[in-house]
Amino acid sequence: MQTILSNEFKFQLINSLNIFRNIIDPYNPKEEIIPTIKENIQANFPAEEIEKLKSNVVNEDGSGYVFIDLKELCSNYEELLIMNFILLNIIGKPLWHKENNPIWFNLKVKTDVNPIRTHGVGKNPLHMDFLTFESYPKVISFLSVRRDPLMGGGSLLCDMKKVFSKLNKRENALLKSKLFKYWIDKDIVNLGKALENFSIIENKDGNEVYRYTEKMLPHLEDGRDVLNEEGLIHKEELINIFNKIKKISEKYTLEILLEPYQTLIFNQQRIAHGRSPLGENQNNLNEDQMRLIVQTYLN
Ligand SMILES: [Fe+2]
């Protein structure tokens, strides 16, 4: 499950860290440095291994994710951030989706928000981020800084390609129709235009990509605004399909409890993600003890 890097690859990661440590602000790397990093990668890293890592994440026949441990390669948090930035540039192109914000987004635990939401303490159902944008992020990276000391908060990954392959022709056809609507996030940049209607299964350059979220199910059930007029005709059937998907996806969901300095990089147009509940009584922890994951998008 864990991706094993060759010694040569690790050596080059440390080398790059030493080159870029005085140039990159670890807390806010800038886009301008990317061409220089890419040049360094191309000149020094083993090309075959780079291809293997990339194809594992992006290609149809890959697992859809890589899971890498950077613990022995960096000795503090700032080094970790810089090394992670280099690694992300190996896999793809870092994507800034909010103007004037750093590339890093801290997934902190908050005990006073809706438990199922991004920062909540409950189970975060399987979903894909920014699925209402035409060019939604291809890849997500979760870099672990602290794991939950109460041993919850595993990262959930589910290969929706496997799940959808278990549906029948009729069910697949409905998911391929533009019947769906969903909330559109505000103040987002670089993700293309917002989609009024979309299909859950979409053909993109000969490959299937998915815009799935289990969070749609309760809205379907209580008739809230997630279907267009044509979709409403099939409402009952779609509720059944979503329930079936939920059941099948339980079988295919992988839970990874990330240790500090481990990073998980996955194809988010194919692999839905979520979070298992945090350990109970998070209120007993100080903020600096709670689970912390740094999230980043790539294209
Ligand atoms: Fe998410």
Which 3 state secondary structure label does DSSP give 157? Answer: strand
pLDDT of residue 170: 98
Pure H helices in 108-234: 160-164, 169-175, 216-221, 229-233
CA of 43 to the centre of ligand 1 (A): 34
Mean pLDDT of 255-281: 97
CA of 117 to the centre of ligand 1 (A): 9
CA distance 191 to 299: 10
User: Residues 132-163: pLDDT tens digits?
Assistant: 999 999 999 999 999 999 999 999 999 999 99
CA of 237 to the centre of ligand 1 (A): 27
CA of 46 to the centre of ligand 1 (A): 32
**pLDDT, greater one: 295 or 60:** 295
pLDDT > 90? residue 205: no
Mean pLDDT of 260-268: 98
* pTM of the predicted protein model: 0.96
175, amino acid identity? L
CA of 30 to the centre of ligand 1 (A): 23
**pLDDT, greater one: 229 or 223:** 229
CA of 295 to the centre of ligand 1 (A): 9
What is the β-pairing status of strands 139-146 and 262-267? Answer: antiparallel
CA of 109 to the centre of ligand 1 (A): 14
CA of 214 to the centre of ligand 1 (A): 12
DSSP assignment letter at 198: B
**By the 8 A CB rule, do 295 and 105 touch?**
yes
CA of 59 to the centre of ligand 1 (A): 21
Please choose, from the candidates 269, 4, 219, the residue with its C-alpha nearest in 3D space to the C-alpha of residue 116.
219
CA of 231 to the centre of ligand 1 (A): 25
CA of 229 to the centre of ligand 1 (A): 28
CA of 22 to the centre of ligand 1 (A): 32
CA of 129 to the centre of ligand 1 (A): 5
CA of 186 to the centre of ligand 1 (A): 16
Mean pLDDT of 206-223: 93
pLDDT > 80? residue 208: yes
CA of 56 to the centre of ligand 1 (A): 21
CA distance 140 to 269: 9
Please choose, from the candidates 226, 264, 217, the residue with its C-alpha nearest in 3D space to the C-alpha of residue 244.
217
**pLDDT, greater one: 270 or 221:** 270
CA of 142 to the centre of ligand 1 (A): 10
Q: How confident is the model at residue 21 (pLDDT cuts 50, 70, 90)?
A: very high
pLDDT > 80? residue 223: no
CA of 128 to the centre of ligand 1 (A): 6
Mean pLDDT of 3-14: 97
- Is residue 72 classed exposed, middle or buried when 0-12, 13-18 and 19+ CB atoms within 10 A define those classes? exposed
